[in-house]
Amino acid sequence: MKSEYSAYGAAASGGYNTVPSPGIPANSEAWALIEAARRMASASSSPDSLDQLREALRLNWRLWTLFQANLSLEDCGVPDDVRQNMLNLCNFVDKRTVAVLADPTPQSVQVLVDINRNIASGLLAGLKQAEGGSRRRPRSPSRARSTPFPPEPGWPPRLPFAFRESFLSSQDRFQSNVQLDGRSLLITGGTGSFGKRFIATVLERYKPRRLIIYSRDELKQYEMAQIFDPRQHECLRYFIGDVRDATRLEMAMRDIDIVIHAAALKHVPIAEYNPSECIHTNVNGAENVVMAAIKAGVKQVVALSTDKAVNPINLYGASKLASDKIFVASNNLSGAKGCRFSVVRYGNVVGSRGSVVPLFQKLIAQGADQLPITDSRMTRFWITLQQGVDFVLSSLERMRGGEIFVPKIPSMRMVDLANAMAPGLPHHFIGIRPGEKLHEAMITEDHARDTVELPDRYVILPNSATWTNSVLVDGALPVPDGFRYASNTNDDWLDEAGLRDLIARS
């Protein structure tokens, strides 16, 4: 049960003086915090039982109580950077502790114990650092904060990257029990933002027989192979190929069970300027994927779509609408026992290439005196890369063929996004670009009659399914007549803290 990360947090805890620091009464809440932190930091890195793990985790509740009770770590002399990091970590872990304690497993509890050990050890290291420096004046009660600081982009700087990615990917996802062990998968556009995260997730959670990255850019494949080395992951294969090339696709799909179709030309203005290229990749490429999958005997295909495919006003959206229609209708071509095709549709991906978030981050880092905004009224749906990958995997498990799966995700006004990332920085309104909408929709009133709702998603069912006797989704309820799911009428809205959380996960 011992985690490879356990030693990371324990390293900072040794040698701290057990006598209360000057100015901190032994019976104060601040000293109680220090005692709880010391107990947490010295907890066994290899507990003998789940009960010991649970008890170690409960020690962290004392830390929480004190953080939430207006205790200022500044009173203890903890430096600002240490204090900020500690509170960021605690704010993140707090949301997950209740669920883990309610239904614990050795693995999930161990992950939280390891993170909490980092929290406690960081506090002790900060206190030890404060011992050697000048002590700040304690805050007055009126200046004490009532809640932890919200997470900042780049959190947490003191945790190893692999630890952060493993924890996020194991906790923040659309629930899925899909079985990929021993199966062969191929992803088109595999060197893109989604492809990289998809490959990382599959390698972390499953043991596939083969995992093929299919893309046309040899440099991106070379760079990706430095991260995901086929010598370390024997299931990995890198195939140079274009979705425009039907013959190459058919060869690549031999003995493949599952195809994830992520390849597309996605940039709206570039597609408007190069319409033929957009059609060749997004429409003809979709048809090539379908035909190759049927000929090669592939069992399941999930195609990635976009909110821009709904009532499209730009060529990119129109091409993806055509692609969606091709994949849904292809279930008729494959027959009752042939390949099943479904579509996943979602909104803007935080942190992906071409997203506005990396653009704003770059401008802010360069010291820009204003941020460009297309229109003050504009809204968008937002999802993280990991959430997108998890949604695809969970849809793969649920699909029967012909469905369009739509996740329930939050919206945000672009002006609010800019204000959250750079408070006080002026905005420069540049006008809507060619082919751009003020608001995006993922389900319209016309699709409502074919749409059902689940707790975490909507499903647009095929209105004509000759390949199956049932298109009903277990546990789903029909949406009301006239239902519309759009970014400006969404019930779920991101605030500044929510956006920072999404950016931290991207």
Q: What percent of the chain has pLDDT over 70?
A: 63
pLDDT over 70 at 456, yes or no: yes
Handedness of CA 399, 404, 410, 414 (dihedral sign): positive
pLDDT digits 0-9 by tens, 128-156: 554 444 333 333 333 333 333 233 333 22
**Helices and strands (H, E) in the chain, number of each type:** 18, 17
Phi, psi values for residue 198, rounded to 5°: -65, -45
pLDDT over 90 at 35, yes or no: no
Q: Which residue has the higher pLDDT, 431 or 305?
A: 305
pLDDT digits 0-9 by tens, 352-386: 776 788 888 888 888 888 899 989 899 999 998 88
The answer to whether 230 touches 203, Cβ cutoff 8 Å, is no
Mean pLDDT is highest, among 29-33, 44-48, 429-433, for: 429-433
Q: What is the pLDDT of residue 358?
A: 81
Mean pLDDT of 325-344: 93
Q: What is the pLDDT of residue 314?
A: 94
Phi, psi values for residue 239, rounded to 5°: -115, 120
Q: What is the pLDDT of residue 140?
A: 35
Q: Report, at the CATH architecture level, how domain 184-505 is classified.
A: 3-Layer(aba) Sandwich (3.40)
- Would you call 308 a catalytic residue per the annotation? yes
Q: Which string of DSSP letters, residue by residue, matches 133-184?
A: SPPPPPPPGGG--SSPPPP-TT--TTS-HHHHHHHHHHHSS-------TT-E
Mean pLDDT of 265-273: 91
Dist. CA 249–CA 240, nearest whole Å:
10
Handedness of CA 151, 152, 153, 155 (dihedral sign): negative
pLDDT bucket at 112, cuts 50 / 70 / 90: low
How is the chain split into domains, by residue range?
Answer: 6-135+144-171, 184-505
Mean pLDDT of 70-95: 51
pLDDT bucket at 87, cuts 50 / 70 / 90: low
Q: What is the pLDDT of residue 83?
A: 55
From the list 504, 503, 443, 505, the residue with the least C-alpha distance to 479 is 443
Mean pLDDT of 498-503: 76
Q: What is the pLDDT of residue 247?
A: 97
Which of 266, 308, 320, 437 is the catalytic position?
Answer: 308
Q: What is the pLDDT of residue 318?
A: 97
Secondary structure letter of residue 189 according to DSSP: T
pLDDT bucket at 420, cuts 50 / 70 / 90: confident
Mean pLDDT of 276-285: 98
Lowest-pLDDT choice from 7-16, 50-59, 435-444, 459-468: 7-16
End-to-end CA distance of the chain: 29
pLDDT over 90 at 487, yes or no: yes
Lowest-pLDDT choice from 74-83, 205-214, 273-282, 395-404: 74-83
Hey, how many other C-beta atoms are within 10 angstroms of the C-beta on 413? Answer: 20
Dist. CA 191–CA 203, nearest whole Å:
15
pLDDT bucket at 402, cuts 50 / 70 / 90: very high
Mean pLDDT is highest, among 1-10, 77-86, 301-310, for: 301-310
Q: Residues 6 or more apart from 411 whose CB is under 8 A from it?
A: 379, 380, 381, 382, 487, 488, 490, 492, 493, 494
